[in-house]
Amino acid sequence: MTPLAAPPAMHLLSGARTLFYKEVLRFWKVSFQTVAAPVLTAVLYLLIFGHALGDKVQPFEGIGYTSFLVPGLVMMSVLQNAFANSSSSLIQSKISGNLVFLLVTPLSHWAWFVAYVGASVVRGVAVGAGVLAVTIWFAPLHLAQPVWIGVFTLLGAVLMGALGLIAGLWAEKFDQIATFQNFVIMPMTFLSGVFYSVTSLPTPWQVASHLNPFFYVVDGFRFGFFGVSDVSPWVSLGVVAAGLLAVCGLCLRLLRIGYKIRY
Q: What is the pLDDT of residues 97-114, one digit of tens each?
A: 888 888 888 888 999 999
pTM over 0.85: yes
pLDDT tens for 34-59 read 999 999 999 999 988 877 766 666 67
Taking CA 196 as the corner, what is the angle to CA 195 and CA 201, rounded to the nearest 5 degrees? 140
Q: What is the pLDDT of residue 251?
A: 97
The DSSP line for the chain is -PPPPPPHHHHHHHHHHHHHHHHHHHHHTTHIIIIIHHHHHHHHHHHHHHHHHTTT--SBTTB-HHHHHHHHHHHHHHHHHHHHHHHHHHHHHHHHSTTHHHHTS---HHHHHHHHHHHHHHHHHHHHHHHHHHHTTTS----S-HHHHHHHHHHHHHHHHHHHHHHHHH-SSHHHHHHHIIIIIHHHHHTSSSSS-GGGS-HHHHHHHHT-HHHHHHHHHHHHHHS--SS-HHHHHHHHHHHHHHHHHHHHHHHHHTTTT--
Q: What is the mean pLDDT of the chain?
A: 88
**Residues sharing a CB contact under 8 Å with residue 129, sequence separation 6 or more, in sequence order:** none
Q: What per-residue string of b and e applies to 99-115 under the rule 16 or more CB within 10 Å gives b? A: eeebeeeebbeebbbbb
Q: What is the pLDDT of residue 170?
A: 94
pLDDT tens for 61-100 read 778 888 889 999 999 999 999 999 999 999 999 998 888 8
pLDDT band at 2 (very low <50, low <70, confident <90, very high): very low
pLDDT band at 1 (very low <50, low <70, confident <90, very high): very low
pLDDT at 13 over 80: no
- Weakest-pLDDT range from 3-7, 31-35, 176-180, 220-224: 3-7
The CA distance from 211 to 195, in Å, is: 17
pLDDT at 4 over 50: no
pLDDT at 5 over 70: no
Cβ atoms 81, 38 nearer than 8 A: yes
pLDDT at 3 over 50: no
* C-alpha dist (Å) from residue 147 to 30, 151, 172, 225: 31, 6, 39, 10
